[in-house]
Each structure stands twice: as C-alpha cells, then as structure tokens.
Amino acid sequence: MKKELTILIGWFSGADAERQKVFEENRKSFSHYNPGVEVITVLNTFQNIMPQAWLCSDLPFFYWYLENGKIQNSERYLLVEWDCWCDCNMKDYFSRVWDCHLVVPSIRYPERDHWHWFKDIDQLPEHCRAFATGVVPFCGILLSDKAMEIISPEVTKDQYMQVISELRLGTIATMLNIDPVTNPVCNRSLTWQECSPFDASYRGLHHPRKKLQ
C-alpha cells in the first residue's frame, strides 16, 4: 500500500551548531503538524564538488528518488529546504491542489515576467529553451510519484547542470508536459528573501527561517 505523502527536507554537512539547531527545530515542525508522515533528510553533497552548491538544491532530491523511490512507494513528495518551518498540516495546506502533479509557490515565464535568472536561458540545451520556466522559490514543492518518476532521470543529466534549480526544474517539467501549478493558499511567508523578524502571522510554510526566534 502506497504512503499518501513523504516529506523530503534538504540538508548539508559541515553546518555550525546554530544552524544545526535551527534545522532540527524546523524538521520537528513537519513531524509535529503531520503525524504519521515520514520526514526524510536528504543530504546535499554538491558542496564537496562545486563552489556554488546552492545552484543544485533540486538535484539531491531527484537522485534520492532514483535510488529510493520504488522502495519508499509514496503517492506524492514534498520537497523543502533545511530553513523551512511549518505550522499546519500539509494535506490541508495543499488541499486544493493535492492531486496535481507539480505544485510550486510561484511561476515565472520569460514572455510575461522579469526574473533575474532568465539571463541564463542560453545556458540551457537548445532543445529545451522554448520551455524556459521558473519556479520560485525552490521550497515547498509538491510532486506526485508520477512526476518524480518522469522528471528524475531527465533533470539529473549533466547537460542541465549550468543553471539554477528553479530554472532547471521548471523548464524540464514543462518540456515533459508536467506544467507547474501554484498553490492558491501559498502564504506570504514562503519566499526566497530573508525574513527578519520571522513572521508567523500566516499558517503554512515559512521560508527562510535561519535563526531561532
């Protein structure tokens, strides 16, 4: 029998004691508000082989799926970063889009939106440039097992390594006919910008939370 949801939380080695404590508290929040849901730590090892490991935030999750997806046997996966905290049940949070294949916080299209990372479209292989799409930020992303199965073998190819995670995932998913949709209840506390002080006014996912407050 398939699990309904698995939460994958990204982490990296060599963090200082303060960040380790923040990570542990953030991780506990997912377990607390989602009883019975397995929360798995996925280690980002790209910091050991390239100076800008943050460009590859997505890849450890997809490599993990290629190795463990069949064993894990989950209907869907939630991808979050180490500095994400939650204060509600994820099935409630994603209730309106629970059965969609790829749910993201927000979407960027070059024909419509100004986004800094579209400057790297020419770093994409030529065959996928027409599908250029950004998903922002790379945190709080819900994928069905089908989406993980289709996207993982493609997104981990070396030819896509030159672009940031948000551009790589959005583009490849769109190219593979898995168009991202947004969560209509995505709250104001899920962003790529520093949040200081940390704002818990809106229930849901909160990112980035890099300090205990």
The answer to whether position 1 is within a domain reads no
Number of domains composing the chain = 1
The answer to whether position 32 is within a domain reads yes
SS3 51: coil
Q: Which residues are within 8 A (CB) of 144 and not within 5 positions of it... i.e. 6 or more apart?
A: 75, 76, 99, 100, 101, 102
Only one residue has tokens 């024909």, namely: 111
CA distance 196 to 213: 10
The answer to whether position 213 is within a domain reads no
The answer to whether position 195 is within a domain reads yes
pLDDT recorded at residue 208: 79
The answer to whether position 169 is within a domain reads yes
The answer to whether position 211 is within a domain reads no
CATH code for position 167 = 3.90.550
Range of 141's domain?
6-206
Beta strand pairing call for 76-80 and 6-12? parallel
The answer to whether position 162 is within a domain reads yes
The answer to whether position 121 is within a domain reads yes
Q: What is the DSSP letter of 177?
A: T
Q: Average pLDDT per run of 10 along the chain, which is 213 residues long?
A: 96 82 95 98 75 78 97 98 94 97 97 96 97 96 98 96 95 98 82 62 81 68
pTM as predicted: 0.94
Structure tokens at 109: 């299209």
The H or E element that residue 41 is part of is strand 38-44
pLDDT recorded at residue 195: 58
